[in-house]
Structure 1
Amino acid sequence: MGYDLITSGYCALDRIISVDSFVEVGRTSIITNKNHNQIYYGGCNVNVSVNLARLGLNAAPIIRVGNDYITSGFKEYLEKNNVNTTAVKLLDKQITSATYLIESPDHEHITLFYPGAMDNSLQTPYKDEWFIDSKCALMTVASLNDNKEFLNKVKKHNLPLFLGMKMDSDAFPKSFLKECLDHVEVLFTNKSEAKCIAEIYDLEDYKELINVLPKVKTIVITLGEKGSCALYKKDNEIKYVEVPIINIEKVVDTVGSGDAFIAGYIYGYLNNKTIKESMEYGATLASFVIQGLGSTTNSPNKEELIERYLNHYKRR
């Protein structure tokens, strides 16, 4: 079969609730967005898959959905965006995972999540055919049983592993996280997550991780408004590179921007771009996503992505 990317993680029917003040016990916060009950389709692996499918790649998320898969519009959304749904499993008498994102005035988020069909107890074995001949694999936050099954299949079929774990201790308890890190080729993290991982290995500086993780080739660290940086190995040396963000005049919603960065990076990786170029593609894709409400609502097609990428990074 063979996909460009096979990926694990929770899917979710997202509802974004913007409030006029920080949520506090005993205080009423006013909802400011009229579309607070509108469903957006997301989840880290779904977001990455949609972004890559819009760019013409064959991306398949492994997800379980409930009997609202069709009525919610989720099935139509995936198909409309050319996402490969071979690894989507429908569970009767269950409902699809749901997320409520409470967004503060400064775009910080409180996340409420109902696992539904993606609950840990509902995990079933994955098919080898999903992994055979696939080019690479991305592991994101899912149930522990799903993550363990995914890692076993990645190891069995010797796929390059990308990891975006977001310091979720339920999905990645310490012992299992170390097992994942022993097999990861590209690690996506932010600075605080990198420091937490370094503490697991008793390292004072997270930059030392590049020498400790046995299979890692690249550690990509997102830095918010400061852009991103990466540590990588080349010619038996440790290299360092930084990439700035693309400044957007109006930020509508930051939900999904991290997933967009990962998708853009993987797009570069699969097209044999350099690490710096892949990071630039990540920043470019993220700049589109933050211009729309929802995780993939404003995702670009291939022509739009390349045009903005060239205008910003190659013609300065």
Structure 2
Amino acid sequence: MSQPSLDVIAIGNAIVDVMAPSSDEAIEQLGLVRGGMTLVDTDRARELYEAMGPAREISGGSAANTLAGLAALGASCAFIGQVADDQLGEVFAHDIRAGGIAFGTPARAGDPPTARCLIFVSPDGQRTMNTYLGASQFLPAAALDESTIASAAVLYLEGYLWDPEEPRAAMRKAISAAKGAGRKVAFTLSDAFVISRHGDDFRKLIAAGEIDILFANQDELAALTGEANFDAGVAALASQVPLLVVTRGAEGAVAVAGTERAEVPAEPIAKVVDTTGAGDLFAAGFLFGHVRGYPLAQSLKLGAVCAAEVISHYGARPEADLRELAAKLG
């Protein structure tokens, strides 16, 4: 097996986040689930956008955010995702390339437009996300360069993109390419609602040995395993995947690899401004440590440091120098 030329290649939604502060009362009046993620259609996306206060547009998407963190740490990365040939598509492409991430998926002509996520941020930093998937759900398998996928040490997939048919087929093809080259496949479950729709698919992937590294939060863990008790859920899933990483918000994170288990607390910060991207940047820090051969606990610690950085400001992309923060860990 040849040495990988990329650290991580990811497939995910190519989304531009539109973020605005909001009161919890306004969120309730709009009929939104505070702290949740809801898929919306064109009309609902327009209605919610009109209801938002002054907003900031920041390129996002779960897997793309993770790559932004990885690249900021010094990893070599590539992204596969579908944008439309429109203004937000240009914004997304510019931002991801400016972060040093290779991105060569051709823009899609015509409707639907580039995906956007309308995010209402509560005073305590909690984010309520409403996602219009637009062009991102039309990523064809033909857009994949299997040789590039085979050149990466890790293929990283986001569960959010499993919902639409075309990208689901693309991700299955990518898994085959990565596995055929002897590479690792990492998968993030993304959200409990995704598991409610596709949990059987995910369980089959796990049972077939297709997933080497699985990322989940405690709610997703419960949804996938059916275990309300956290430790019981970890035990049930850890026996099925080579490496399981579970985040617990303010309670930190746990990783299990075979008989080895490591746990870290959340990093203390002065103020939580916006939790958007916390899980994405945790995955970035952990994966960076993993591809560099760090011990399990150190990879978890780096994940916690990256998550703490991103929740200290608006937006799901890092603003501080992550390499400097990582260097302090030794």
- TM-score bracket relative to the smaller structure: 0.7 to 0.9
d(CA) in 2 for partners of 1:128, 1:79: 20
Tell me, yes or no, if structure 1 residue 178 matches structure 2 residue 203: yes
d(CA) in 1 for partners of 2:196, 2:321: 30
Match of 1:113 among 128, 131, 134: 131
Q: Which residue of the partner structure matches residue 262 of structure 2?
A: 241
Q: Structure 1 147/276 Cα, relative in aligned 2: closer, same or farther at 3 Å? A: farther
The range that moved more, 187-196 or 174-183, is 174-183
Q: Which residue of the partner structure matches residue 232 of structure 2?
A: 205
Structure 1 residue 205: Cα displacement: 2.4
Runs of 4+ that moved beyond 6 A: none
d(CA) in 1 for partners of 2:102, 2:215: 24
Aligned length: 294
d(CA) in 2 for partners of 1:171, 1:139: 18
Equivalent pair of 2:20/2:56 in contact (CA under 8 Å): no
CA RMSD of aligned residues (A): 2.7
Instruction: After superposition, give the CA deviation of every residue in 1:22-68 in whole Å (9 maximum; x if it has no partner).
Output: 322379xxx9xx98322111001110111111222221121011122
What is the aligned-residue identity percentage? 20
Q: Structure 1 297/210 Cα, relative in aligned 2: closer, same or farther at 3 Å? A: closer
Q: Structure 1 280/144 Cα, relative in aligned 2: closer, same or farther at 3 Å? A: farther
Equivalent pair of 2:121/2:274 in contact (CA under 8 Å): no
Instruction: After superposition, give the CA deviation of every residue in 1:65-86 in whole Å (9 maximum; x if it has no partner).
Output: 1122577532222222111113
Equivalent pair of 1:66/1:90 in contact (CA under 8 Å): yes
Equivalent pair of 1:99/1:113 in contact (CA under 8 Å): yes
d(CA) in 1 for partners of 2:205, 2:79: 19
d(CA) in 2 for partners of 1:221, 1:170: 15
Amino acid at match of 1:6: I
Q: Greater helix share, 1 or 2?
A: 2
Which aligned pairs between 1:1-316 and structure 2 lie closer than 5 A? 2-22=5-25, 23-25=27-29, 36-69=54-87, 73-86=91-104, 88-94=105-111, 95-120=113-138, 123-125=140-142, 126-140=144-158, 141-142=160-161, 143-158=164-179, 159-166=183-190, 167-169=192-194, 173-182=198-207, 183-199=210-226, 205-210=232-237, 212-213=239-240, 216-233=241-258, 238-302=259-323, 304-310=324-330
Amino acid at match of 2:234: K
d(CA) in 1 for partners of 2:218, 2:84: 36
d(CA) in 2 for partners of 1:8, 1:128: 12
TM-score by length of 2: 0.80
